[in-house]
Amino acid sequence: MNQKSILKGINKHLAILHLTVFVWGFTGIFGALISISAVSLVWYRVLIASVSLFLYFKLSKTAVRVDRKTFFKLLFTGVFVGGHWVLFFASIKLSTVPVALVCLSSITLFTAILEPLINKKRISKLEILAGILIIIGIVLIFKFEPQYTKGIIAGLASAVFASLFTIINSRQAKKIEAPIIAFYELTGAFLWITIYLFLTGGFNSSLLLSTSDFGYLFILGTVCTSLAYVAGVSVMREISAFRVALISNLEPVYGILLAFLFFRDMNKMTLGFWIGAVIILSTILLYPVTRRHVHRLKNC
């Protein structure tokens, strides 16, 4: 395969990832619109997503069997997937959609640190710098938005979980088809959350849905979860976990704009929030340019 074909393939995967991130931008909107608790919301979300993927496999007669080791590994990864979403929606409900989305941007720093440790690679100074700049943005938001402390903590914890399953999936995607990975991980997330609800007495009236909640959950579970999750995992064959994490940080751009359109949430944000957000988004956009420039200097 020549270099032109390789670049064409990578650009195709980047386009798919950007479209996926745009779809994820609607997640925060649905999180704010749905009235039930974060845990109940994610339980329904992964249930709908798992069932929709199962029906897809049945209708397409696709074999989904994996070996026992892979089965338990994917099922366990569901802990991070479910935990990420529960904490993310908790962050929205404890603060606002923009605050939760920008806190999620710290996934870049966590991935820059965790990916080399897990994959036993050399830590990139440029990736660490990008992550630090994003954390500076987070600190600015934290300093100027003290009433959202709990929401920010939940958002940062959500980013750690997202970083972990992104790194795990970047390895699994090279061996297993994306829909199969998505099915077992989402089923695992459903299993773990079900156990949590059972142990905490969560199976009660709090799970009751209104008509509008059901509609929003259906779209969230199918389009924003099963389809988007499969698409997000599929690109990891060609794109590194850090690059995926970096591009995923464009979710706040889409999410904040959508939040403004739906809720006029921008009016609630202070100057500190916007300074932090600009630092984060500038880092995301400038990283690829800087990376190419550094490589060019090394090759001179």
User: Which sequence spans correspond to the domains of the chain?
Assistant: 16-299
DSSP string, 85-153: HHHHHHHHHHS-HHHHHHHHTTHHHHHHHHHHHHHT-PPPHHHHHHHHHHHHHHHHHHHH-GGGHHHHH
CA geometry: angle 7, 249, 27, nearest 5 deg? 115
CB atoms within 10 A of CB 179: 21
pTM (predicted TM-score):
0.80
Contact between 108 and 249 under an 8 Å Cβ cutoff? The reply is yes
CB atoms within 10 A of CB 78: 22
CA geometry: angle 251, 44, 199, nearest 5 deg? 115
**Cα 158 to Cα 35: distance, rounded to the nearest angstrom:** 20
Please report, in tens digits, the pLDDT of each residue of the chain (300 residues total): 555 554 555 578 888 888 888 888 788 788 878 888 888 999 999 999 999 999 999 998 888 889 999 999 999 999 999 999 889 888 988 888 778 877 887 887 888 888 888 888 787 888 888 888 877 887 787 666 678 889 989 999 999 999 999 898 888 888 888 899 999 999 999 999 999 999 888 888 878 888 899 999 999 999 988 988 888 888 887 787 887 887 877 776 677 677 777 766 555 567 777 888 788 778 877 877 787 777 677 766
